[in-house]
């Protein structure tokens, strides 16, 4: 029974690492590696996925004959990555993209924008729920920023599409923000800053925007990402069996 579970987990990991990391909000590095810690977080977020831990990866290596994954310290990748999505530069962009950042970085981001750390990327999603899931892997206390892609490009951003919903960039100017979340304890400070801005600039409340779109993190709206779930499951079954 244990070996059967390990085989199922192995097939799912291989599907993620070699075919559809974007489906789970994952972007491999330039060498195809993904952080093992991030994969564990992905599995823990979805009740439909089996639970895994660090020891699970060792069990896969020991119990699967000629495993098609390779582990290097705290990183993992598929040996065959030909089916991975490409990074597409010149492609149509949605009007809005979403990203969640750590709560404690709110003021810094609001003032200076979002920059990629060393050897990483700014990962955005066309789906607000997926952006929330990605953000929760970094911090349970997170802030939503809505990005106007046209304004972002006008202020120095270059976007690459990865898969169906994921977009990456190196930098997002604060001038591209539509309406970041404003925590109550920071609302007064933000309002004071907003008064000093030039005419025509504005910050909308996240609550109003969320009510308009009716797809807050806990919403049951049938968004495109969720509508595709059955299709994705069918693809998984074809891959696994």
Q: Is the pLDDT of residue 197 over 70?
A: no
Q: Tell me: domain 2-84, CATH 1.10.150.120, correct?
A: no
Does the pLDDT at position 163 exceed 60?
yes
Residue 105 is given by DSSP the state: G
Write down the pTM of the prediction.
Answer: 0.74
Give the pLDDT score at 207: 40
With CA atoms as reference, report the closest residue to 27 among 132, 200, 230, 165. 165
Which overall architecture, per CATH, does domain 87-213 show? Alpha-Beta Barrel (3.20)
30-87 pLDDT, tens digit per residue, is: 999 999 999 999 999 988 888 899 999 999 989 999 999 999 999 999 999 999 999 9
The answer to whether 70 and 79 have CB atoms below 8 angstroms apart is: yes
- Judged on CB neighbours under 10 Å (0-12, 13-18, 19+), 204 is middle
What percent of the chain is modeled with pLDDT above 90? 58
Q: Are 20 and 163 in contact (CB under 8 A)?
A: yes
**Domain extents in the chain:** 2-84, 87-213
Radius of gyration for the alpha carbons in the chain, expressed in angstroms and rounded: 19
| Residue of 145, 174, 177, 172 whose CA lies nearest to 156 | 172
Task: Give CA separation, 39 vs 32, 36, 207, in Å.
Answer: 14, 5, 31
pLDDT of residue 218 exceeding 70, the answer is no
Higher local confidence (pLDDT), 186 or 127: 127
Q: What is the dihedral of CA 214, 217, 219, 223, to 10 degrees?
A: 70
């Amino acid at each position: 029974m244990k070996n059967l579970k390990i085989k199922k987990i192995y097939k799912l990991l291989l599907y993620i690492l070699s075919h559809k990391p974007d489906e789970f909000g994952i972007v491999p590095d330039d060498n195809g590696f993904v952080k093992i810690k991030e994969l564990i977080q992905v599995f823990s977020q979805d009740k439909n996925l089996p639970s895994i831990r660090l020891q699970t990866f060792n069990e896969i290596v020991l119990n699967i004959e000629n495993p098609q994954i390779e582990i290097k310290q705290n990183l993992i990748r598929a040996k065959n990555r030909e089916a991975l999505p490409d990074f597409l530069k010149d492609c149509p962009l949605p009007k809005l993209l979403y990203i969640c950042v750590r709560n404690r970085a709110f003021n810094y981001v609001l003032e200076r924008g979002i920059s990629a750390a060393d050897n990483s990327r700014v990962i955005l999603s066309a789906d607000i729920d997926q952006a929330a899931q990605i953000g929760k892997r970094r911090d349970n206390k997170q802030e939503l920023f809505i990005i106007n892609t046209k304004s972002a490009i006008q202020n120095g951003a270059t976007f690459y599409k990865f898969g169906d919903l994921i977009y990456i960039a190196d930098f997002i100017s604060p001038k591209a923000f539509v309406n970041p979340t404003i925590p109550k304890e920071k609302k007064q400070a933000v309002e004071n800053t907003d008064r000093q801005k030039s005419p025509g600039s504005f910050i909308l409340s996240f609550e109003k925007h969320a009510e308009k779109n009716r797809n807050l993190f806990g919403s049951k709206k049938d968004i495109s990402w969720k509508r595709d779930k059955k299709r994705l499951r069918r693809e998984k079954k074809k891959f696994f069996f």
